Chains A and B, each alone.
Chain A
């Protein structure tokens, strides 16, 4: 009942109006709220959609990256890029290969050991195994098993005799194991005694290629070092390390007692024996080289000037035309003699390397040093038209080189001036040579042996000396004669970075004084000035 009727309202009507329940009002449709709701819903939907698209985008990119990894290796020596040789190994993989690293995956995926060389090694293993997976279409897979966290798993792999840090390569029934320590090699610098300088070389790529190749039934080349004749172990190790760093599998056999040599052996290496080989051993050596007419095996001999090995030398002379004499090469031209604070060393002459089939990697203008080198004689230049044997001189010395007997050299009272020197019967004097002896097998294919003889084993003292090409002189003949092919001729890469040398004063003034303190303090002062000037604004 309206209170505002024109007629006079009675008090009862007023009471009734006051006590009456309010009428239900119709819900008004507010256009503004509805629009806000609509806009808000749309905005939320768009937000969710965009977030979903971005997440999906990243997921797709991640999947594509796993399938088709695309990355740029910005390191100066392409530390994380597989070489062409590794690509060749990957192309030949046709069966599933499983690489099991018995360590925590995070060590390799995101290494942070505090040592840059170790971090690089671990990272290389991770990257290279991923690359093999991509290159082989997933045939090469890598798994990480942390035996420290899961010790019970060790029994599962007991037949492979693995421990924490082992790396197991498996392909069907074939398997091989190496360890983390096999992934690098450490070389001591020339002045290690004073500077403790070492160089770390990464063998990760090489070991992966070699072992994947091996378990897949591919060709590997082993070099078997013969021992058991008083070899100088220091020089044996030096040479073994050099060859291993350059892709060869190294084996050692005591030829005095062993009856078999590894079937993968491509060459035998004899380093500075101090005892002669027996006639029986020479017979076995000869038979191994002949290989039932298939040959294709080689022999490398580094002679020891202080030892007499008549059987071995006779074998080299009769079978391969290389005579090892009892004379040391003694240079008289000062230009060919290394000088030092302690004097000159005419018995460590300098020379260059001849251009031959086995020395193609050596620059003929580079200098090599040949300490304590026995003179060699070869059949080179003689008429060998009826023979399948050829001799080649690798290192020679000119007419200024004279000869000194080994007895005179080893005499207690021998001095540089008093020692008796004689001229050679013919020049140039040969210090290193090789023979190639071949025949035709049943398939009428030419098969042969390279027999390489160095009159000095002390050339190995200088394989890390940059000014001499001794390393190339040692490596080139092996690579040429006993080729690894495309598959595993992967050289080791140095991980040891260059170093800076700032004296303490420069470091403190520039590094600490200017860069750490000086420039920031200037900026803080500027900040204060700005603050003071603008605080009232």
Chain B
């Protein structure tokens, strides 16, 4: 797995993708920090984290995940990968962790913002790390979704589009719940799946263990499904 991880990580920096993804995250974060904290004077970084969510899910993560498995399929290097002495789980985890690390590096710029704030006030580091954790967990979940979609196609564009649509559905799920009465099963299920509500807990400064377990279990679920897809390909 570590070999796959290192290879994947290196590939992000030997191709434009890694730099572009980081540029997008830094640019968006920097803009929101400038707007809310420097121009409006808010000491709280939760506005930056809150506003980053949509852009990261709809724009950055689809680009980050589009080539994870579809590129191997397109270049026919998936055969070598599948026959390598690495378990499918190792392959999937290696690629997932590489993408997650790039994402983590990108959102680490928010910690730099906290350091800038520290020159004027004492930031609440606990709450900032809580926000960071929430964004990382949510990003990990969407990366896992993106990996699954990437494993189903050899077109990077379709993989990116699929991840975009999946992220869009996840973001809009609260709107679906509002169409139904609050007592219906559909609403309960939809509320359960709502990532907005769970993520808002983190940005509000509240960490609930069921939110953490939800995001981790969703990552496990989609990574498992990705392994199943690759396993099916191997046997075919």
Q: Give the B-binding residues of A (Cβ under 8 A).
A: 36, 39-40, 43, 46-47, 50-51, 54, 57-59, 61-62, 64-65, 69-76, 79-80, 105-106, 109-110, 112, 116, 119-120, 123, 127, 144, 497-502, 506-507, 510-512, 514-517, 519-521, 523-524, 526-528, 530-531, 534
Given contacts A72-B207, A116-B46, A520-B23, 17 further A-B contacts (CB under 8 A): A50-B224, A54-B221, A61-B209, A71-B207, A76-B124, A80-B205, A498-B121, A500-B120, A500-B121, A502-B41, A515-B113, A519-B27, A520-B27, A521-B23, A524-B23, A527-B16, A534-B14
- Judge whether A61 and B210 touch: CB under 8 Å: yes
Q: A498-B121, A534-B14 are in contact. Are A74 and B206 (CB under 8 A)?
A: yes
Q: Give every chain A residue within 8 A of B220 (Cβ-Cβ).
A: 54
Quick check: A47 and B225 within 8 Å, CB to CB? yes
With known contacts A110-B196, A515-B33, A528-B16, A74–B26 Cβ distance under 8 A: no
CA distance A527 to B24 in the complex (A): 12
Contacts of B182 in A (CB 8 A): 105, 144
**Are A110 and B205 in touch, CB under 8 angstroms?**
no
- Smallest distance from the beta carbon of B228 to chain A beta carbons, Å? 5
- The secondary-structure label for the interface of chain A is helix
CB neighbours of A528 from chain B (8 A): 16
Q: Which residues of B contact A40 (CB under 8 A)?
A: 232, 235
Write the chain A residue with the least CB distance to B210: A65
B199 CB, nearest partner CB in chain A, Å: 10
Please, which residue of chain B has its CB at the minimum distance from the CB of A146? B182
Contacting residues, chain A, for B26 (C-beta < 8 A): 515, 519-520, 523
Q: Which of B14, B34, B43 contacts A515 (CB 8 A)?
A: B34
Chain A residue nearest to B202 (CB atoms) is A74
Q: How far is the CA of A233 from the CA of B106 in the complex (A)?
A: 57
With the chains together, A514 CA to B113 CA distance in Å? 12
How far, in angstroms, from A510 to B204 measured CA to CA in the complex?
Answer: 27
Q: Is the CB of B124 within 8 A of A75?
A: yes
Q: Across the interface, do B44 and A116 meet the contact criterion of CB distance under 8 Å? A: yes
User: Given the complex, which residues of B lie within 8 Å of A62, measured CB to CB?
Assistant: 192, 210
User: How long is the Cα–Cα vector from A70 to B33 in the complex, in angstroms?
Assistant: 31
A511, B31: Cα distance in complex, Å: 7
Q: How far is the CA of A515 from the CA of B30 in the complex (A)?
A: 5
Known interface pairs A75-B124, A516-B30; A497-B23 also in contact (CB < 8 Å) = no
Cα A246 to Cα B108 in complex, Å, equals 41
Give the nearest-CB partner of B130 in chain A.
A74
Partner of B33, one of A43, A144, A506, A511: A511
Taking CB atoms and an 8 Å cut-off, the chain B residues in 25-74 that contact chain A are 26-27, 29-31, 33-34, 37-39, 41-44, 46-47
User: Which residue of B30, B117, B130, B217 contacts A520 across the interface (Cβ within 8 Å)?
Assistant: B30
* Complex Cα gap A535–B11 (Å): 14
CB of B213 within 8 A of CB of A527, answer no
- Cβ B120 vs Cβ A501 within 8 A: yes
| A36, B196: Cα distance in complex, Å | 42
A106 x B214 contact (CB < 8 A): no
B152 at the interface (CB under 8 A from A): no
Complex alpha-carbon distance, A174 and B152, angstroms? 62
Known: A43-B228, A530-B16. A76 touches B33 (CB 8 A): no
> A residues within 8 A CB of B24?
520
> Which residues of the partner chain A approach B46 to less than 8 Å between Cβ atoms?
116
For B27, the chain A residues whose CB sits under 8 A away are 516-517, 519-520
Residue of B nearest to A73 (CB): B206
Whether the Cβ atoms of A507 and B38 lie closer than 8 Å is yes
When distances are taken between beta carbons in the complex, the residues of chain B under 8 Å from A516 are 27, 30-31, 34
Q: Is B178 an interface residue (CB 8 A)?
A: yes
Contact of A523 among B22, B174, B217, B232 (CB under 8 A): B22
Name B183-205 residues within 8 Å CB distance of A: 192, 194, 196-197, 200-201, 204-205
**Contact: B30 with A519, CB < 8 Å?**
yes
> How far does the alpha carbon of A91 sit from the alpha carbon of B14 in the complex, in Å?
62
Q: In the complex, which residues of chain A have a beta carbon less than 8 angstroms from the beta carbon of B14?
A: 530, 534
Residues of chain B lying within 8 A (CB to CB) of residue A120: 204
On whether the beta carbons of A70 and B37 are closer than 8 Å, the reply is no
- CB < 8 Å: which of B120, B121, B206 contacts A80? B206
The answer to whether B206 and A527 touch across the interface, beta carbons within 8 angstroms, is no
17 A–B contacts from the bound complex (CB under 8 Å): A50-B224, A65-B209, A65-B210, A71-B208, A74-B126, A74-B127, A110-B197, A116-B46, A499-B41, A500-B42, A500-B43, A500-B120, A515-B26, A515-B113, A519-B30, A527-B23, A534-B15
Q: Please judge, given known A-B contacts A498-B121, A500-B120, whether A79 and B39 are in contact too, CB under 8 Å.
A: no
Q: Does B168 have its Cβ within 8 Å of any Cβ on chain A?
A: no
A517 CA to B43 CA, complexed, in Å: 22
A511 to B16 alpha-carbon distance, docked (Å): 25
A72 CA to B126 CA in the complex, in Å?
Answer: 10
Which B residues touch A39, using CB under 8 A? 235
A363 to B194 Cα, complex, angstroms = 50
Q: Which of B121-165 contact A (CB under 8 A)?
A: 121, 124, 126-127, 129-130
B211 to chain A, nearest CB (A): 9
Closest to A537 in B: B14
Task: Known A516-B30, A519-B26, A534-B15; judge A54-B124 contact (CB<8 A).
Answer: no
A70 contacts B206, C-beta separation under 8 Å = no
Is B20 close to A, CB under 8 A? yes
Of B39, B46, B192, the most chain A CB neighbours within 10 A belong to B39
Contacts of B178 in A (CB 8 A): 106
CA distance A127 to B200 in the complex (A): 13
A58 and B30 contacting across the interface, CB-CB below 8 Å: no
A51 partner, pick from B126, B201, B221, beta carbons under 8 A = B221
